[in-house]
Amino acid sequence: MANTKPLLLADQVTNMKHIPLNFIRPLNDRPNLQNLQSSNDNNESIPIIDLQGLDEDNDASNRSQIIHNIGQACQDYGFFQIVNHGVPEDVVGKMMKVGKAFFDLPESERMKNYSDDPSKTTRLSTSFNVKTEKVANWRDFLRLHCHPLEDYIQEWPTNPPSFREDVGEYSKHMRKLSLKLLEAISESLGLEKDYMEKALGKHGQHMAINYYPPCPEPDLTYGLPAHADPNAITILLQNHVPGLQVLKDGHWVTVKHVPNTFIVNIGDQIQVISNDKYKSVLHRALVNCEKERMSIPTFYCPSPEALVGPAPQLIDQHNDPPKYTNFTYAEYYHKFWNRGLSKETCVDLFKV
């Protein structure tokens, strides 16, 4: 067989001194690693919210305080970090471990899952969308659809042997947590508790296992460039290596690693449903020359046929008219994958 270049990044990077030219960002769009350091030194990060008491109806005052904090974070940052979220540590530990074990498999074993077609419901790929993008990103990723679990689990990798069990268990906990957060977000907007849940139709849930290998020139490229997430909410688990940055008042804030937390962010669909009261904020992932970084986002989303638009209760034809037209999530999602990650976010295409 001809000696062809590996398709995945992880299989190209050993002993690499310079990144390939197609990874180099234009001069005006490069990470500022100094900025990463100073934001670390300043102890800046996103709000931390303790969810202890959110489930308890008998502690009404604590519950309403948590909902208030969530609403405030959604307005000010579009991002927050949660503690006491109720997901058992061993479930999270097994997820991280099996994700890492997957990326440690030999190339031939991993490649059984490879596809560059974004419409496939289980696939391993690299960068963002290799078919359409001009500049490549320093990332490999495995993407999985997770809900309803029984529709997809048969497509998932069987190696490592515990993959389906560990990831299946994790994804069930993520669904529970997503629903709890969607209720709190609905209430924080003054909507019925189940408003968001109903707005998502039959619900969709995807996850990614992002693998960012060490990079010899991390100041020239991104793991993921600035983008907003197209879904409703994202719940992200990351290993101990920082890299996620969030845009706040025009500058990039680095999210600190806090053990036993998840990072939650508002996606485009909640921005639309809230009629811009909550913002789906730009974020990006930087890489570094020493350590591999892993992140595992769960993307909770409407089902493809769900019709999304601003909540009627949040619009007032005179003072607060609807800012978006109604659309199906299928339409939205198709646009997202085909236009590429960009600072001009996809929601703008659906503005009235």
Residues that bind ligand OGA (CB under 6 A): 208, 210, 224, 229, 238, 243-244, 283, 285, 295, 297
Binding mask 57-86 for Ni ion (x = CB under 5 A): ------------------------------
CB of 31 to ligand OGA, least distance (A): 13
CB of 263 to ligand OGA, least distance (A): 8
Applying CB under 5 A, does 268 fall inside the site for Ni ion? no
**234, 265 contact by CB (below 8 A):** yes
Residue from 311, 352, 310, 302 nearest 331 by CA: 302
Residue from 221, 211, 215 nearest 289 by CA: 215
CB of 257 to Ni ion, least distance (A): 17
Residue closer to Ni ion by CB (options 31, 322) is: 31
Site for Ni ion in 225-264 (CB under 5 A): 229
Residue closer to ligand OGA by CB (options 67, 208) is: 208
Give the β-pairing of 48-50 and 79-83: parallel
CA 167 vs CA 173, 187, 206, 297, 314: distances in Å? 10, 30, 12, 12, 37
Residue 210 partner contact from Ni ion, ligand OGA, none using kind-dependent CB cut-offs of 5 to 8 Å? ligand OGA
Please report, as a single letter, which amino acid is at residue 26: P
Residue 208 partner contact from ligand OGA, Ni ion, none using kind-dependent CB cut-offs of 5 to 8 Å? ligand OGA
CB-closest chain residue to ligand OGA: 295
Where does this chain bind Ni ion (CB under 5 A)?
Answer: 229
